[in-house]
Amino acid sequence: MSAPHAYERDPYLKELPVRVLATGSDDGRSWAVLDDTVLFPEGGGQPADHGLLGDVPVVDVRTVEGRAVHFLEAPVPEGPTLLRLEWARRFDHMQQHTGQHLLTAVAADRFGWETTAFHLGPETCDVELAVPSISPADLERLEEAVAACIRAAVPVTARRVLPEELPGLAVRSRGLPEGHSGDVRLVEIAGVDLNTCGGTHLRSTAELEGLKLLGTERLRGGTRLLFVSGGRVRRRLGAAEERNARLRVLLGAPDPGLAEAVAVKLAQLAEAQKALRGAEEELAEAKAKALAAAGLPVVDAHFEGRDLVFLGRVAKQFAELPVGGLAFLTGERDGVGVFVLAAGAGSSSDVRALGSAVAAELGGRGGGSGKLFQGKASLERRAGALTLLRTPSP
């Protein structure tokens, strides 16, 4: 049988004396091939380990033509050195991957839900199950069954077998990798699961600490089930407690009443926004009427702290009034200058042509049709744009 790498021989090994056999660069990334490695290369849904080769960070590990290629932040020389594993990342991955094996086994054996895919993400993990949907009651039963296996401290072991031995074993597998040849690695949770897998795993289900199901999503006729294991459960609970503490202060409500308090606040906000929109419509109408009442060929107004939405409301109201003049409106909010040119209902001005000339004068851009033209621009040359509008065409 093939000699496994150090990460497979002992997934708890944190450092290893190695020899750099070859180095190079791929798309600007330095890489090195070693005589052995304690770093797991990405595969089977599990991300690659990180670590240090000498003093140089290893940021990725990939299997390329049967070799574990280590991608580095900087070049390294060939020869002997020390390879050190980023243990916290590895142990987290071991907890998540072992949790997936246990979850997959329980879901299949007790509920008949086969796993079709697995993804180990930086915050959460998920398995895709061949079942259209899962009820809340079934999720609760599944989580409790997994918890029972964790409490039982079931041993987890790995071994390699020859391909011809597989038919005589009750192996759970989604199939071997394309092009695989030679012996096959099996990971076993005693009495629970026997699975083909090349990843790193815990010694016992007790080291999982816990597994929490987070919810489901519909997916291509199946169901994606999200979960976290081990330290992620505690970190997630800690973050939730910290968030709830802030919400209790902000909302003045205990944990059970937080959702209801948020719902009340959202309803109040919706009412306030509705009232604000009504007030802004009234203000826009009053501004438009005041501009029209001036009776001038070109009127103007600047609205500090107002955006294009408000200017558009004033312009729309002005364009509906029975006047023959033009309104040049500008505003500035968060350092962004905007303008609108509007023609009254009785005007025959070519607003599109005039608007384009104004945009050019302001060094901006815009567009429009009918009675309105709007855009964004610097307002430093606002006076020049106003003079342009007030100058009679030859």
**Segment 118-159, tens digit of pLDDT:** 999 999 999 999 999 999 999 999 999 999 999 999 999 999
CA 202, CA 155: separation in Å to the nearest integer? 9
Q: pLDDT for 303-332, tens place per residue? A: 999 999 999 999 999 999 999 999 999 999
First to last CA, the chain: 94
Residue 165's pLDDT band (cuts 50, 70, 90) = confident
pLDDT at 297 over 90: yes
Closest listed residue to residue 258, CA positions, set 244, 279, 242: 244
- Residue found by looking up tokens 């006729």 in the block: 221
Q: What is the pLDDT of residue 394?
A: 57
Burial group, residue 85, by CB count within 10 angstroms (0-12, 13-18, 19+): buried
* Tokens standing for residue 193: 């699961």
- Three-state secondary-structure class, residue 204: strand
Q: Which of 188-197, 356-365, 384-393 has the lowest mean pLDDT?
A: 384-393
Q: What is the pLDDT of residues 217-238, one digit of tens each?
A: 998 889 999 999 999 999 999 9
- How far apart are alpha carbons 344 and 320 in whole angstroms? 6
Domains and CATH numbers, the chain: 6-85 (2.40.30.130), 91-238 (3.30.980.10), 280-390 (3.10.310.40)
Instruction: Return the higher-pLDDT residue of 297 and 175.
Output: 297
Query: In this structure, what token pair is assigned to residue 375?
Result: 């855009």
* 363-383: average pLDDT: 92
Angle ∠(89,94,100) on CA atoms, nearest 5: 125
